[in-house]
């Protein structure tokens, strides 16, 4: 199995004084996802929860939406020329009758850890029809509950403490209880790992839940939440304009700049119980 962290010796400068010391880096390695033995895409990720990542990626792409559609996931033996297993190639086996991914999904380039769905240029090109709607989800949460989530997310991160270099995504229930947390060098990978876990546990659609992410809220993260049936996405940083557009169109509540008791609610403000009518 790949390592989550990698040691490295560095030159450290503090007020001009040099010293050599060990450092710990977050690992980043490519992972190829195959479906039925056919290569689909390569993503740069932090090793760990690879099966969740593969399953979540296929949820985001509209290939899977229920646990019974997934027959199995395995690492590919003989991934190298000498027959060795790098644990960097996984093969997803779909259940009988589940259509294979459309050929248009195949990537002839790798997905970097920062870009998410690279190569898709416009809102129309990336919009995927979800098997369910989040617009009718009756979730309501208080500002106090949302304000507590960043610290709960941070407290549950195990690898960040040693590297400082990983994004996190956490799925919380309506009472603020953490259901699943995953870390990765790519924020979109962390989200896919959470969604893949939810799929494999039979939790999709993830109604009445909140997806909390470190960093910003990009278009692809909103799309992934919608595809998983998650009605509220919260981020500690800013959303993009396309993220807000898709959230509004889909009926998802999008919260940004969630820091302490301060936050911006961009869409479906009626889900935030402020004691007043804030529908928007």
Rounded to whole angstroms, the Cα distance separating 203 from 97 reads 21
Q: b vs e for 197-231, b when ≥16 Cβ sit within 10 Å of the residue's Cβ? A: bbbbeebbbbbbbbbbbbbbbbbbbbbbbbbbbbb
Which of 162, 211, 159, 216 is CA-nearest to residue 184? 159
List 76, 115, 118, 180, catalytic entry: 115
Residue 115 annotated as catalytic: yes
**Residue 68 class from Cβ within 10 Å (0-12 exposed, 13-18 middle, 19+ buried)?**
exposed
Both tokens of residue 71?
């027959």
* Residues classed as catalytic: 115
């Amino acid at each position: 199995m790949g390592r989550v962290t990698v040691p490295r010796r560095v030159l450290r400068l503090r007020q001009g004084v040099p010293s050599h010391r060990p450092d710990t880096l977050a690992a980043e390695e490519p992972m190829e996802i195959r479906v039925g033995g056919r290569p689909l895409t390569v993503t740069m990720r932090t090793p760990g929860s690879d099966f969740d990542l593969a399953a979540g990626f296929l949820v985001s792409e509209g290939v899977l939406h229920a646990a019974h559609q997934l027959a199995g996931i395995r690492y590919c033996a003989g991934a190298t020329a000498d027959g060795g297993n790098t644990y960097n190639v996984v093969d997803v086996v779909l259940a009988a009758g589940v259509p294979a991914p459309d050929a248009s999904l195949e990537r002839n380039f790798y997905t970097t850890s920062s870009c998410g769905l690279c190569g898709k240029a416009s809102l129309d090109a990336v919009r995927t029809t979800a098997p369910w709607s989040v617009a009718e989800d009756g979730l309501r949460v208080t500002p106090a509950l949302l304000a507590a989530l960043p610290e709960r997310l941070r407290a549950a991160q195990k690898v960040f403490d040693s590297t400082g270099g990983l994004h996190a995504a956490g799925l919380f229930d309506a009472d603020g209880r953490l259901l699943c947390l995953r870390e990765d060098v790519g924020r979109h990978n962390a989200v896919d790992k959470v969604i893949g876990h939810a799929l494999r546990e039979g939790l999709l659609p993830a109604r009445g839940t909140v997806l909390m992410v470190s960093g910003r809220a990009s278009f692809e993260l909103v799309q992934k939440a919608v595809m998983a049936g998650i009605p509220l996405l919260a981020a500690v940083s800013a959303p993009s304009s396309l993220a807000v557009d898709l959230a509004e169109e889909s009926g998802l509540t999008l919260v940004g700049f969630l820091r302490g008791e301060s936050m911006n609610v961009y869409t479906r403000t009626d889900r935030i119980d402020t004691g007043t009518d804030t529908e928007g």
